[in-house]
Structure 1
Amino acid sequence: MVGDLVAVFDGVTHPADLHNGCMHTPAWYVRRLTAQLVGAYGEAPDAALPDLLARAIEAVSDEHRGTCDLSHPGTPAATACVLRAGGDHVDYLVLCDSPLLLDVGDRTDVVKDTRFERIANLRRAASVPGTGHVERLTAAASHKWEYINQPDGYWIAAADPRAAHEAVIGSAPLRGPGHVRRAALLTDGASAAVEQFDLFGWARLLDLAATAGPAELIRRVRAAECADQHGHVRTRYKRHDDATAAVCLFEGNPG
């Protein structure tokens, strides 16, 4: 978080035996993207969120285009969920599978980019039965590359700044009827509490994160991951998915 801007990113992990044309790790990419977004925001705090993210993506690309093949579809990448509060409203941006929750009093709005989920469902439907777990995940990862940052696929922060302008964007009021009281920015490792493990609904997730804190939300996800010996985590490359959550409270704003 910097100023009125808060964001969560989730680096994309591939099986270790898949070459992606880059010498850098997803963790490196997320660190650099975060730093570049902070820099872009510092220079133009009122710029549209897609413009800020596009500038950050381009700046990170400039940092390693001389050493890495940025044209490779597996080049380091990250999902993004960004929110900025200003005056009487919040602006938001969601790119790939890191959802945003908005508590507007009588309901919890879920802002999602469903394109990755659609492609993931297509890949699962086309998976070859009878293959081993590792072989199936490796094949799925390489197949996924066909859809990255394509009009008929899904968009993610990687090397192409155009992806930022394909994000799901919007705004919501901070004052008046239906104003936002709280918000939660989640990576898919945190949203798995609802989407994979069905521990509770979106409203309860936001309540838990806002009252007990994001650490308690992630603790419950970790417990569910450990208890799930043969279920949902079998679709991952690792048992414990990276999980990040950020909570914003706007309770002081008048209704």
Structure 2
Amino acid sequence: MERPMRLFIGYKAWKEEEYLLNRMTFDDLVKAYVTYPAIQVYALILLTALIIGIVTIQSIPLFLLAFLVGALIFPIAWYITHRFILHGSWMYKTPWLAGFWKRVHYDHHRYPNDLSVLFGGLHTTLPPILLIAGPVGWLIGGLPCAAAAIVGTVMMTMYTEFLHAGEHLAFEPKSKFWKDIKKRHLAHHFHNENGNYGIAEFFWDKSFGTFYAESTDRERSPTARNLGYTDEMAQKYPWVKELTDAEPGARKEMRNRGAAS
């Protein structure tokens, strides 16, 4: 008899699992998603904020407006962060930020099939969610609207995390929407990283001229996998390389299996 799935397993147990998207099924992805502790915290925050918003609601139109604004904050915030921060060189040139950059984005481009470096950590996602969505919602209509804006942003975060993982999963989506965003996101990873910064939508890419629908629309970039952190850069700014070299052998072997597809 198959053992029931344990829902709450904690970060340590989750990290000990081998989640390689090129070797996973859709059901495997769903299991990995719902058991990831950060997703569970998002769900708790979403439920708590929703209850607070409903209990204190004063104006339904303002509440819905704040929710919509919160949901729309995520795409533009992600575009700015992805393009100007995560794809910048200044973080790996700074000793105390090099490790952060490595974990948050460099490792994802080096090992795009490794789910453990695809999902965001709470220390990188929660502060901007609470410090941006909350105050914006408060300006719209006080506490209930602050809660509504947080609900909107957290929902978009959870939605985007799942779609992002699905874009790297070795399966062919049935919907045209998912097929299109998968193709464009994978082009960002394997063809030219200087475009298609969106994940679940590409409105801001189209607005700022960084969108390309087909790989033939852009030249192939030699730095799509290393984000410009070449051997030459590693000699000048060794901190990311030192952290990479210090990774456990088992982790390297697992990631190499994930790269072999």
Q: TM-score normalised to the size of structure 1?
A: 0.29
Structure with the higher helix share, 1 or 2: 2
Q: TM-score normalised to the size of structure 2?
A: 0.28
* Structure with greater Cα Rg: 2
Q: Which has the higher contact order (CA 8 A, sep 6+)?
A: 2
